[in-house]
Structure 1
Amino acid sequence: MPDVGASVPPGWPEQVRPPGAPDWEHTAVAWLFDLVPPDYRAHEVLRRYPLLLARFAGDHVAAGLEAARAGWRTVRVELADHLPPDAIEAAVTAYEREGARLAAAARGVEVVAGALRGEVWVPRL
């Protein structure tokens, strides 16, 4: 994979080649499909229109991020009487990690979708 740090915006996924690189859209589609449930691969319209796939992926990631945030806020109260304290703390940690992963994925979807729309990122000095 080429070094994308100098040619793509912050948050660009490592698995996606920079816009203009050979097969960059193919790598974007593969990455986007990895973010959504496997059944989404059955929808030909998502294969045909990568920008639509990015929309679906963005919606899916946003829903997951909201679920992780809700779980983080409520797990202590809802399960305190049913799980040992160390399990609760491990769950909080898992929600935090998943939230961070999903937030990064959401940013990645945003910048990839922009590139699919033809937006060109220009670094600020």
Structure 2
Amino acid sequence: MSQTATLTRSPDWPLQVKSPGSHDWERSATRWLRDLLPARYGSYLTLTRHHALLARHVQLQLQHEMRAVRVALHTSRADLPMMGVAESVIENTIRMYAIELEQLGRLSRGVRLVSEALLVGTPAQRKR
């Protein structure tokens, strides 16, 4: 089985991205990656024209989002009562952060898979 077939069969492969080798698959990958970034990044042609840079930046962005959500999760019980937030809202907030961490982890794994697929056949990948 080829490496790209293995990548796309993973449960973490994003549904919005076509299978590598199919018509317009790189465009679907780039669109999906770009959509994971804040809108202001869409104007940076360096990111949108270079798959490796785009995927790297998305991975970094997701890592920072995960770090922020972890901090929010771990400080909720201490900080939110002092802000007058009701216990039931705090519990819902903690659940929300836990769900968000799971989603960000899944996105991060998807970005890694798409990035690997985009790099297959590039000079850097062939050197390995």
With the shorter chain as reference, the TM-score category is 0.7 to 0.9
Amino acid at match of 1:95: Y
1:6/1:71 Cα in 2 relative to 1: closer, same or farther (>3 Å)? closer
By how many angstroms is 1:8 displaced?
3.3
By how many angstroms is 1:110 displaced?
0.5
Q: CA RMSD in A?
A: 1.8
Give the 3-state SS of the residue equivalent to 2:115 in structure 1: helix
1:30/1:97 Cα in 2 relative to 1: closer, same or farther (>3 Å)? same
Q: Deviations over 1:76-112 (max 9, x none)?
A: 1111232100110111011011111100000001111
1:14-25 equivalent positions in 2, closer than 5 A? 14-25=15-26
Runs of 4+ off more than 6 Å: none
Instruction: Provide TM-score, normalisation by structure 1.
Output: 0.86
Q: Do 1:8 and 1:18's aligned partners in 2 also have CA atoms closer than 8 Å?
A: no
In structure 2, the partner of 1:76 is 77
Q: Hey, which of these two has a bigger chunk of helix by percent?
A: 2
Amino acid at match of 2:117: A
Instruction: Provide TM-score, normalisation by structure 2.
Output: 0.84
1:5/1:118 Cα in 2 relative to 1: closer, same or farther (>3 Å)? closer
By how many angstroms is 1:32 displaced?
0.5
By how many angstroms is 1:5 displaced?
8.7
5+ residue gaps in structure 2? 122-128
Q: Do 2:34 and 2:48's aligned partners in 1 also have CA atoms closer than 8 Å?
A: no
In structure 2, the partner of 1:44 is 45
Asked whether 1:105 is paired with 2:107, we answer yes
Identity %, equivalent residues: 34
